[in-house]
């Protein structure tokens, strides 16, 4: 009996200890009494910051974008089609010019989920270049000089007039924009001559352009990244022999595309704030003093530490959201003056523009709310303290979910730090 009672006592004591231990792991520091002031707060001073220009990024790869919006003007969009059809057996574009083939009609069509408030004309061109590959992912407004003159090397094929009545997505959320090439028309002959003839014009690239610049709103169509990307359907007769004729159609698909915009002008005032805009490639870097962090013991833990920024100005409309991404840097910043990969400065001491690489061990995003954004950085501070990060800079940029036309200017409010002494 004595041994049994002792076992009960021991079990009870162990249960209490386990309960206390488990409970301590779930208690929040701000919920405990802190008579010894073990929770400390401080502010980290900013030492300097810089605005720089990276390569512009259009966030929505699944859309081709048109219109003049927020000081950004669309020049044109390029769509490269596949050389072979998606049918079995595949048929190449140039095969359609064979003597045994009679092309009856064709249709180049695009799909959209947008509606229109204004009327505009969308023109379809064929790029008449003798080069096969004429654009790449690096193509943007600032690098146009590195590529062919698209507008000078193009032929107008067709035009459609788009209105609020003609563009109205159905129950599936999609509507079609159709460029028709009817039998015997001059437009069909131009399509065959300047697009099907890949021996002379191998690029297989359409250019879409609002020549009259009448579209003062944003209008999008589905790109090659979408399941509803651009397509071209061709109806034709194939004469197998004197007795056999096949009447059929084939479909070609888009394989790559890009929209080219004149981005908003980078103003002098942009350099006075923490400025962010993906359309022009504006990003910012903040450096702050981490001497306090260096002075702390290894056992001190960080909690509820925030980078706090106030909204100085923006071009956001009512109801529009803007997310900011903050990331650590792999390398330190060498120059704190404005830099751009598109500035040709022969007097610059730097042989090449800095290429800032983010450290994926710390990447976090938050949205602006009530003209302020609070970004938790305790993981970064703890990582710096433990030697995971070597530098005292953070990069800020516009999140991919934002519109590339949205620009914000931010002011640093505080870099608040809360840490717990053991």
| Pairing mode of beta strands 205-209, 120-127 | antiparallel
Which pLDDT score, from 0 to 100, does residue 155 have?
A: 97
- 223 and 336 share one domain: no
CB 167 within 8 A of CB 175: yes
Which pLDDT score, from 0 to 100, does residue 418 have?
A: 86
Q: Which secondary structure element, helix H or strand E, spans residue 70, and what is its range? A: none
- 290 and 215 share one domain: no
pLDDT higher at 2 or 210: 210
Confidence of residue 243 (pLDDT cuts 50, 70, 90): confident
Which pLDDT score, from 0 to 100, does residue 407 have?
A: 96
Which residues are bridge partners to 66 per DSSP?
219
- 247 and 376 share one domain: no
53, two tokens: 């220009």
Is 13 inside any structural domain?
no
How many C-beta neighbours within 10 Å does residue 80 have?
21
pLDDT digits (tens, 9 = 90+) for 320-330: 999 999 999 99
Q: In a 10 Å sphere around its CB, with 0-12 CB exposed, 13-18 middle and 19+ buried, how is residue 381 labelled?
A: buried
Which pLDDT score, from 0 to 100, does residue 165 have?
A: 86
Which pLDDT score, from 0 to 100, does residue 312 have?
A: 97
111, two tokens: 């799909």
- 301 and 199 share one domain: no
pLDDT digits (tens, 9 = 90+) for 13-52: 444 333 333 333 333 444 445 555 578 888 999 999 999 9
pLDDT above 50 for 3: no
Strand blocks (E) in 67-136: 68-69, 72-81, 101-112, 120-127
Average pLDDT over residues 364-369: 96
Which pLDDT score, from 0 to 100, does residue 304 have?
A: 85
Confidence of residue 124 (pLDDT cuts 50, 70, 90): very high
Average pLDDT over residues 329-356: 74
Q: How far is CA 51 from CA 13, 126, 271, 327, 360, in A?
A: 61, 39, 6, 15, 21
pLDDT higher at 292 or 10: 292
First CA to last CA across the chain, in angstroms? 44
- 281 and 399 share one domain: yes
- 218 and 311 share one domain: no
364, two tokens: 């976090």
pLDDT above 70 for 2: no
Is 25 inside any structural domain?
no
Mean per-residue pLDDT of the chain: 86
Pick from 262, 286, 318: which residue ends a domain?
262
| Pairing mode of beta strands 120-127, 154-162 | antiparallel
Least confident of 43-57, 171-185, 234-248, 311-325: 234-248
Confidence of residue 141 (pLDDT cuts 50, 70, 90): very high
CA 81 to chain CA centroid, nearest Å: 23
Least confident of 2-11, 14-23, 97-106: 14-23
Is 23 inside any structural domain?
no
- 130 and 226 share one domain: yes
pLDDT above 60 for 4: no
How many distinct structural domains can be found in the chain? 2
What predicted TM-score, i.e. pTM, was given to this entire model? 0.81
Is 17 inside any structural domain?
no
Which pLDDT score, from 0 to 100, does residue 56 have?
A: 87
Residue 224 CA to residue 226 CA, distance in Å, equals: 5
How many C-beta neighbours within 10 Å does residue 327 have?
21
pLDDT above 60 for 158: yes
Pick from 262, 281, 305: which residue ends a domain?
262
Residue 175 CA to residue 169 CA, distance in Å, equals: 4
Least confident of 7-11, 69-73, 85-89, 398-402: 7-11
How many C-beta neighbours within 10 Å does residue 264 have?
20
Confidence of residue 5 (pLDDT cuts 50, 70, 90): very low
- 284 and 210 share one domain: no
Residue 338 CA to residue 323 CA, distance in Å, equals: 23
- 131 and 246 share one domain: yes
pLDDT digits (tens, 9 = 90+) for 370-400: 999 999 999 999 999 888 999 999 999 999 9
Average pLDDT over residues 193-203: 97
Domain around 105: 63-262
Q: In a 10 Å sphere around its CB, with 0-12 CB exposed, 13-18 middle and 19+ buried, how is residue 29 labelled?
A: middle
- 253 and 268 share one domain: no
pLDDT digits (tens, 9 = 90+) for 255-290: 999 999 999 889 999 999 999 999 999 999 999 999
- 160 and 279 share one domain: no
- 315 and 389 share one domain: yes
Residue 330 CA to residue 116 CA, distance in Å, equals: 45
Q: What percent of the chain has pLDDT over 70?
A: 87
Pick from 201, 227, 262: which residue ends a domain?
262
pLDDT above 90 for 61: no
Is 2 inside any structural domain?
no
Which pLDDT score, from 0 to 100, does residue 160 have?
A: 95
Is 10 inside any structural domain?
no
Confidence of residue 57 (pLDDT cuts 50, 70, 90): confident
DSSP assignment, residue 193? I
């Amino acid at each position: 009996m004595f041994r049994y009672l002792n076992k009960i006592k021991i079990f009870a004591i162990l249960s209490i200890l386990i309960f206390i231990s488990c409970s301590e792991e779930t208690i929040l520091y701000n919920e405990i009494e802190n008579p010894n002031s073990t929770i400390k707060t401080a502010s980290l001073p900013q030492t300097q910051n810089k605005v720089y220009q990276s390569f512009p990024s259009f966030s929505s790869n699944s859309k081709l974008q048109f219109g003049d919006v927020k000081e950004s003007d669309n020049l044109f969009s390029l769509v490269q089609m596949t050389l072979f059809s998606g049918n079995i057996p595949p048929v190449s574009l140039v095969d359609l010019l064979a003597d045994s083939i009679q092309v009856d009609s064709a249709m180049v069509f695009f799909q959209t989920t947008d509606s229109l408030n204004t009327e505009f004309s969308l023109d379809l061109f064929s790029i008449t270049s003798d080069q096969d590959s004429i654009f790449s992912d690096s193509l943007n407004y600032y690098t146009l000089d590195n590529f062919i003159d698209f507008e000078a090397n193009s032929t107008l094929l067709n035009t459609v007039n788009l209105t609020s009545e003609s563009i109205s997505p159905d129950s599936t959320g999609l509507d079609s924009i159709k460029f028709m090439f009817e039998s015997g028309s001059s437009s069909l002959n131009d399509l065959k001559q300047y697009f099907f003839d890949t021996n002379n014009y191998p690029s297989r690239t359409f250019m879409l352009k609002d020549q009259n610049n009448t579209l003062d709103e944003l209008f999008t169509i589905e790109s090659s990244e979408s399941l509803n990307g651009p397509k071209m359907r061709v109806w034709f007769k194939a004469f197998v022999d004197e007795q056999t004729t096949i009447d059929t159609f084939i479909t070609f698909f888009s394989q790559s595309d890009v929209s080219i915009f004149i981005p908003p002008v980078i103003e002098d005032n942009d350099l006075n704030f923490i400025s962010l805009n993906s359309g022009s490639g504006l990003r910012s870097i903040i450096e702050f003093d981490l001497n306090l962090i260096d002075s702390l013991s290894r056992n001190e833990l960080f909690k509820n530490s925030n980078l706090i920024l106030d909204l100085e100005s923006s071009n956001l409309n009512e109801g529009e959201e803007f997310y900011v991404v903050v990331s650590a840097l792999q390398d330190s910043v060498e120059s704190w003056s404005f830099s751009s990969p598109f500035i040709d400065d022969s007097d610059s001491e730097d042989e090449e523009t800095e290429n800032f690489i983010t450290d994926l061990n710390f990447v976090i995003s938050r949205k602006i709310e009530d003209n302020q954004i609070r970004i938790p950085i305790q993981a970064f501070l703890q990582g710096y303290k433990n030697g995971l990060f070597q530098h005292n800079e953070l990069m800020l940029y516009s999140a991919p979910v934002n519109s590339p036309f949205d620009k914000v200017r931010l002011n640093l409010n505080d870099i608040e730090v809360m840490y717990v002494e053991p």
